[in-house]
Copies of this chain bind each other. A is one copy, B any other.
Amino acid sequence: MASVFPLADLRRSNTPRAWLNSIIKGDCVAALEALPDKSVDMIFADPPYNLQLGGALHRPDQSLVDAVDDEWDQFASFEAYDAFTRAWLLACRRVLKPTGTIWVIGSYHNIFRVGATLQDLNFWILNDIVWRKTNPMPNFKGRRFQNAHETMIWASPDPKGKGYTFNYDALKAANDDVQMRSDWLFPICSGAERLKGEDGKKIHPTQKPEALLARCILSASKPGDVILDPFFGSGTTGAVAKRLGRNFVGIEREQDYIDAASARIAAVQPLGSNELTVMTGKKAEPRVAFTALIEAGLLKPGQVLISEKRRHTAIIRADGTLVSGDDSGSIHRVGARVQGLDACNGWTFWHYEERGKLKPIDALRGVIREQMAKLG
């Protein structure tokens, strides 16, 4: 079982990070306040949606729709909901690292208030993501469009929004080599994945699909990161985090949910490190100075570099700069100047000739990087 921490015990504990990979039992804001500053890499929050339901809803066959009418989803007014939202988001902001990010999921009942509050608290929205449901509940009265999606907001606590983890290259590689879009398609959580009690009834009314959490976690965290869920519920965040080699912290008030989540997480088998390696692109590779190519003898001072369509040439100087007519400087600067542009990636712009063929000097970086790799 994942360990459970009554909040009072956690406050008394002297062990640093005793809360790691455990569920803190208590009020969301109070529990957050017991965690250290800047201790969490990613937050996934599935707060109460503040549904404002009228009477009971029946299907066309007169069966009753099992509505979310739990006590924890009741708020007296929008003002009360806003105050609640502000409080837990502020508490989240403190425990989140400046390079961390937060996800909040909601529907049209609450997501506008959550989004506005995030902005008011100076979070910086990176994307809004639409979860399109393959199998949403129909609209039984035929008075609206079928409500077939929910919305997630992905935001950085830093208004400049830099330095956060985003596994762009892995997402693109996994998506037929095109960028991952802001609209995602997943089934709702049902079947074997849906936690049920001995009576066969669902344990939690709004259990989220693991695939949704997996996409969020794989997008915006690294193995070993700490992922916090302040409304832990049935523990989907914890189960997926564990499976994907991340650490988790959950906060939950209701003992029934804690029991179910704890058992669920205990049964999760983490993936091995080979399966968890994150695909990275050029950005993550070690830098290679242009002079390293000269020092390694792959290029020589006096040698001519050529642009792809042979429109421009430049000569390599011994100090690792280029000269082309009146322009001189780095491979990037000269590449930009000869084209009349502000910027240029010299590694892909400049080519060298080998047996009559032009190859980008970028290819030579690979040789250097292989040498570096051998040295450890």
Interface residues of A (CB under 8 A from B): 58, 62, 78, 107-109, 111-116, 118-120, 125-130, 132, 134, 136, 138-139, 142-149, 151, 153-154, 166-183, 185-187, 211, 214-215, 218-219, 244, 271-272, 274-279, 281, 283, 287-292, 295-296, 301-302, 315-321, 323, 328-330, 332-333, 339, 341-344, 371-372, 374-375
Contacts and interface: CB of A to CB of B under 8 A. Distances in A.
A174 B371 contact: no
A363 to B, nearest CB: 14
A295 B179 contact: no
Given A78-B119, A148-B182, A318 B275 contact: yes
A330 B139 CA distance: 28
Contacts of A167: 319
Contacts of A119: 78, 112-113
Contacts of A109: 125
Given A108-B128, A134-B375, 13 more contacts: A58-B342, A112-B114, A112-B116, A112-B118, A112-B119, A136-B181, A142-B169, A167-B319, A175-B289, A185-B371, A187-B296, A274-B315, A275-B318
A38 to B, nearest CB: 22
What DSSP secondary structure best describes chain A's contact surface? mixed
A8 B151 CA distance: 43
